[in-house]
């Protein structure tokens, strides 16, 4: 028969209290935090998978940020293109009215002054900003794309594409509007027109009281309007793509959060049940130790 000494009994009793206390503290942590996995050692496999879910969730959040930024930026461009279209509608109305042979030179001069104002307004549209960026710029978004004295500040034939952003694991969407396509005459498109030149030509023809030339300007203004409208349509398509990407990223984020929660979060009922069990175990360990060690010695510890 193996004899258990008093010293051995005391050691086992204290060890039981130590283990019960550690278990109780852990159950208290789980119950209070709501998480069963708080560090890798709690459950290495679950912690690794939870970390991956967190990384995927962060990437989805980044995609949402890019999509929302693109929508806001394109929204500014869309409003500007709408204003540009209104300017061209008014210019065409003036050209149509002033093409009538009954109009006097003074009336055409007054109309020319209005067209000059429309031209300046169109330049402002072309230099529209979103925050500190010019929405119709290409290479240097901090510099205006159009200079009233020198024209476009970049090569409209070389730089006719727009910025893109990653908005999904395998998806990139354009988040810019093309000033080249909207306002410029490009070698790649023989039907394109320089909108500022069209307005300038109308102003000149009105000041020259040249009704025939004014009539000839109407077609150019119609082409200019269609050109702006086409880019506005493309902007609308890009905004729709970005909104769908944002919805997809939102759904993906919800999935990643749910999966991560399943891995690390504790079941509330089970957590408090385990806490109650740990408290009972602790009380039992103390009771046993008090009999082995004696109340006075236990209290002293």
- Tokens 């909108």 map to which residue? 195
With respect to residue 14, please indicate whether it lies within any of the assigned structural domains.
no
Query: What phi and psi, each to the nearest 5 degrees, are found at residue 188?
Result: -70, -15
Residue 34 tokens, joined: 């709501």
With respect to residue 215, please indicate whether it lies within any of the assigned structural domains.
yes
Contact 199, 118 (CB under 8 A): yes
With respect to residue 39, please indicate whether it lies within any of the assigned structural domains.
no
Full-model pTM: 0.75
Predicted confidence pLDDT, tens digits, the chain (301 residues): 445 566 666 666 666 667 656 565 555 555 455 565 566 666 788 778 878 888 899 999 999 999 999 999 999 999 999 999 999 999 999 999 999 999 999 999 999 999 999 999 999 999 999 999 999 988 778 899 999 999 999 999 998 888 889 999 989 999 989 999 999 999 999 999 999 999 999 999 999 999 999 999 999 999 999 999 999 999 999 999 999 999 999 999 998 888 776 666 655 556 546 656 656 666 665 666 666 666 544 454 4
With respect to residue 76, please indicate whether it lies within any of the assigned structural domains.
yes
Residue 295 tokens, joined: 């109340």
With respect to residue 89, please indicate whether it lies within any of the assigned structural domains.
yes
Strand partners, 146: 152
With respect to residue 21, please indicate whether it lies within any of the assigned structural domains.
no
Three state DSSP letters for 122-147: HHHHHCCEECCEECCCCCCCCCCCEE
Q: How many domains does the chain have?
A: 1
Which residues span the domain enclosing 101? 52-260
Neighbours of 206 (CB within 10 A): 29
With respect to residue 12, please indicate whether it lies within any of the assigned structural domains.
no
- CATH number of the domain that residue 130 is part of: 1.20.1330.10
With respect to residue 72, please indicate whether it lies within any of the assigned structural domains.
yes
């Amino acid at each position: 028969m193996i004899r258990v000494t008093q010293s051995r009994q005391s050691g086992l009793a204290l060890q039981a209290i130590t283990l019960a206390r550690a278990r109780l503290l852990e159950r208290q942590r789980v119950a209070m935090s709501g998480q069963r996995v708080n560090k890798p050692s709690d459950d290495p496999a679950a912690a690794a998978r939870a970390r991956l879910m967190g990384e995927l969730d962060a990437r989805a959040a980044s995609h949402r940020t890019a999509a929302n930024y693109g929508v806001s930026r394109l929204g500014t461009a869309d409003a500007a293109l709408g204003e540009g279209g209104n300017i061209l509608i008014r210019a065409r109305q003036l050209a149509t009215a002033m093409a009538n042979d009954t109009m006097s030179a003074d009336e055409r001069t007054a109309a020319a002054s209005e067209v000059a104002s429309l031209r300046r307004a169109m330049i402002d549209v072309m230099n529209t900003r979103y925050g500190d960026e010019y929405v119709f710029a290409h290479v240097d978004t901090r510099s205006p794309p159009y200079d009233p004295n020198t024209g476009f500040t970049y090569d409209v034939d070389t730089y006719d594409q727009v910025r893109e952003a990653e908005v999904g694991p395998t998806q990139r969407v354009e988040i810019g509007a093309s000033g080249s396509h909207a306002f410029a005459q490009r070698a790649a498109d023989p039907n394109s027109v320089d909108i500022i030149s069209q307005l300038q030509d109308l102003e000149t023809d009105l000041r020259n009281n040249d009704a025939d030339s004014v009539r000839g300007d109407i077609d150019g203004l119609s082409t200019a309007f269609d050109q702006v409208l086409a880019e506005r349509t493309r902007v609308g398509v890009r905004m729709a793509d970005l909104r769908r990407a944002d919805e997809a990223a939102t759904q993906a984020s919800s999935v990643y959060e749910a999966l991560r929660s399943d891995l690390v979060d504790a079941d509330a009922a089970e957590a408090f049940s385990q806490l109650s069990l740990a408290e009972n175990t602790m009380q039992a360990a103390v009771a046993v130790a008090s009999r082995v060690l004696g109340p006075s010695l236990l209290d002293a510890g």
